[in-house]
Structure 1
């Protein structure tokens, strides 16, 4: 049995689960509470859906199919978690969800009507999941917030859970406090255990790196202009381990910086893994990983998409990606796990420059370059 809690955020569709999840994880990060978010539904959204321009979010969002294979992979990753998790689940629970629910320990329920709450209460009781909170999601602007019951199960209401916003108020504060207490594992104990298992001698702890260089803010957020200073500080071409939270473009840049030496990265579901090994060639139209090649005047853009809704690391080793001549710059784009981003920049090693598209900025961030006119950290439209 996994000792780390997995807190399910459940409720009907369009109740605001993804926005509440974003609000909670941002608050926990600001308190340096170690955890990760696992989106256990095919259209689960990362932080980008709250941080990017909402017009762009509507263009990028892709609905997926809720298949038995998808659910099995989510349940497996839940079972082998290496940190406490917030689990954002789908709004229409069915028989397939049993294996996911069985791996969760606690729940925060959002509801719009009493009947919604009755359904989810029964599900949590059936699977032995401890309730932490029951929250009424109200329509309209973010003004109506109240706590109705501060007992064992926190009860109250929140309004204005719309994408592009974060929730505030006494109920949110009380819920964050309870989650922080539940997730109160000693960061030093977690860190020591994870670092002891690292397969390389030199491990870069991204939070500490940002603090040491005076780059990140109170929530350890990075900016593209930090990249040159980071790469100047770190030795190049030696085996590295990457540990901690960071944007996809930071991981991609560090993978290129370490090349041709080995790189390992810590994934809260998988533990220490290498960047995904990929091969350039002709992509099978039925493959899980697809890419659209878009030629621009001065670079090639690759728009990657995951057809299987949930990409399994073990099943896509040696996956085929489009073959390019590497005679001009490359911009990579898509909603992808970090271990795939690092694999992609390595398979296209040798291009004059590479950039990773970052929805929060609506631009690509150069992560590797041989051209003085387009240095690492520069932005590309």
Structure 2
């Protein structure tokens, strides 16, 4: 990249800072929603069309049609909104189809989800807004059509075309095209009837396939007219400090026609260098960066406040959150798997995730000496960026994110072969934070691990078996040991034992133990801890002591692998006397001379007593 190019972009970024005074408080400013009414807009011309819904019965190839149509449109001037909650997004057509089938997770409409999608459609400012919606004429689509200006019908059932046309026009939308969808045969443009509706047959709309068709060409030309008619800069674009479309021009991308403006993993480091001037700004607004991994890379690298543009939300400021415990967040579920080289953190959303919920998103604690790989079930990107930024600021040596679309693409690092041809059992994950020489590097993560397993924590033994944390485990009350559990387990060989209790010495103090030998005159009490069936012996007025060991206890699972029973910083001790399954002859003598320090463990209120239960 030439010095001249860098200087131009740096000047552009600095010039955009003058917009601070234009609207310092622009966070989802109210934008003009489309008025809803039952009139025919086709009399008004293209300048009154902006939002176009692609509709038709199920299994007609609507999403595949849109994926191919996008190749023919100027990618910086349109956007695609997914009005069906299948969680697949752009990547499902461009990624390796084996990976898609492995990870695909269909979802259902919900009232909140539909409301947010409608808001996104009404608020979208791009020159052309395409909407991919569900295949039934039901209430969720009623609201979506009411928010759009025109529609394109794609139907594998000829009799459905007329019904969808009536349906769309009943909400005041103009019909732009009626297309018959067939798997086999030739594409064909039908005779023009003089009513300004494009009609034809389109063949081969199969997921993952590139379709060449005169029908696509004519529709793309019509939509380019819509884009030209709406050629005005939006308020959000004027406020941007980093403009994704302009950035692409300076990255040397010659074909920005895909949904990600042609951005690939190896553009990560050049993009960060080009926008280095933004590091001097107190607040950086990022607009129209289509590759989510690049937005996340900016969030991790920029020291000041970061705002990402959301379609329905406007600019969303990323909160500063610190990883804690097992993770938290309204509507979020977390799953972590610690392996030898990294920790995989997966998260998914229970329903639609809103900007009001963002401040509650706290990622789980991980081993800070290892890298972190993140995997999620789809947008919003400002949630992903918040989590990436959190781990970067917490000191993770590197952070990567799962980028499934790269599985179906040719990779220079693999000698010009497709990822799926070389690594069919692995998902591609892109490093977006870490040493400069690793930024943009694609690392393989087993697809089996990338599939959601139901939440919680998982690790791996040195002998290879997976270890799962059980619900309501004792680990919840031993938070200090979490960063060391994975490393301790990697030092253990199972020997196919049904029960494992091991003490692992790290060779230097890693924490403090609260299990001490008691002395005459100590103040002793008993109380019940959460998720225990009996009382624990406690000592008051004592202080923790340095400790270099971690104790883990495992039980073999019926389905294979192991279940973590407990883990803590300290020395191996006999089970407490109340534990009828694991207590031994050593339990009572040991716990008559040892105790946990009072005030360092949660207790069940009302269970404290000075009377020994044994």
Q: CA deviation at 1:254?
A: 1.1
Alpha-carbon separation, structure 1, partners of 2:355 and 2:71: 27
Higher deviation after alignment, 218-227 or 10-19: 218-227
Q: CA deviation at 1:186?
A: 5.6
Within a 5 Å distance, the mapping from 1:327-338 to structure 2 comes to: 327-334=369-376, 335-338=378-381
**How many residues are aligned here?**
367
Structure 1 residue runs of 4 or more that deviate by more than 4 Å after TM superposition: 276-279, 282-287
Higher relative contact order (CA 8 A, sep 6+): 1
Q: CA deviation at 1:167?
A: 2.4
Going from structure 1 to structure 2, the CA distance change for 1:282 and 1:98 (only over 3 Å counts) comes to farther
Alpha-carbon separation, structure 2, partners of 1:44 and 1:21: 16
TM-score by length of 2: 0.56
| From 229, 236, 243, the counterpart of 2:270 | 229
Alpha-carbon separation, structure 2, partners of 1:101 and 1:218: 30
Partner of 1:299: 342
Q: CA deviation at 1:255?
A: 1.2
| From 139, 150, 158, the counterpart of 2:202 | 158
**Helix, strand or coil: the match of 1:360?**
helix
| From 170, 176, 181, the counterpart of 1:132 | 176
Going from structure 1 to structure 2, the CA distance change for 1:50 and 1:99 (only over 3 Å counts) comes to same
Partner of 1:86: 130
Going from structure 1 to structure 2, the CA distance change for 1:276 and 1:118 (only over 3 Å counts) comes to farther
Within a 5 Å distance, the mapping from 1:133-148 to structure 2 comes to: 133-140=177-184, 143-148=185-190
Higher deviation after alignment, 313-322 or 327-336: 313-322
On the 8 A contact 2:239/2:285 being kept in 1, the answer is no
Within a 5 Å distance, the mapping from 1:215-294 to structure 2 comes to: 215=253, 217-219=255-257, 220-235=261-276, 237-239=279-281, 240-259=284-303, 261-275=304-318, 278=321, 280-281=323-324, 287-294=330-337
Tell me the alpha carbon deviations over residues 96-137 of structure 1, each in whole angstroms, 9 at most, x when there is no partner: 332222101100001122332232122112211110001000
Q: CA deviation at 1:218?
A: 4.4
Structure 1 position 366 matched with structure 2 position 408: no
On the 8 A contact 2:328/2:362 being kept in 1, the answer is no
Structure 1 position 105 matched with structure 2 position 149: yes
Q: CA deviation at 1:299?
A: 0.3
Structure 1 position 63 matched with structure 2 position 63: no
Give unmatched runs, 5+ long, in structure 2: 1-32, 35-47, 407-426, 445-614
On the 8 A contact 1:279/1:318 being kept in 2, the answer is no
Structure 1 position 196 matched with structure 2 position 238: yes
Q: CA deviation at 1:250?
A: 0.9
On the 8 A contact 1:276/1:313 being kept in 2, the answer is no
TM-score by length of 1: 0.89
Alpha-carbon separation, structure 1, partners of 2:371 and 2:310: 29
**Helix, strand or coil: the match of 1:317?**
helix
Q: CA deviation at 1:326?
A: 2.3
Partner of 1:210: 248
Coordinate RMSD, CA, aligned: 2.3
| From 415, 439, 447, the counterpart of 1:376 | 439
Going from structure 1 to structure 2, the CA distance change for 1:284 and 1:293 (only over 3 Å counts) comes to closer
Structure 1 position 48 matched with structure 2 position 91: yes
Tell me the alpha carbon deviations over residues 229-249 of structure 1, each in whole angstroms, 9 at most, x when there is no partner: 222333263332222233111
**Higher Cα Rg: structure 1 or 2?**
2
Alpha-carbon separation, structure 2, partners of 1:253 and 1:117: 45
Q: CA deviation at 1:95?
A: 2.4
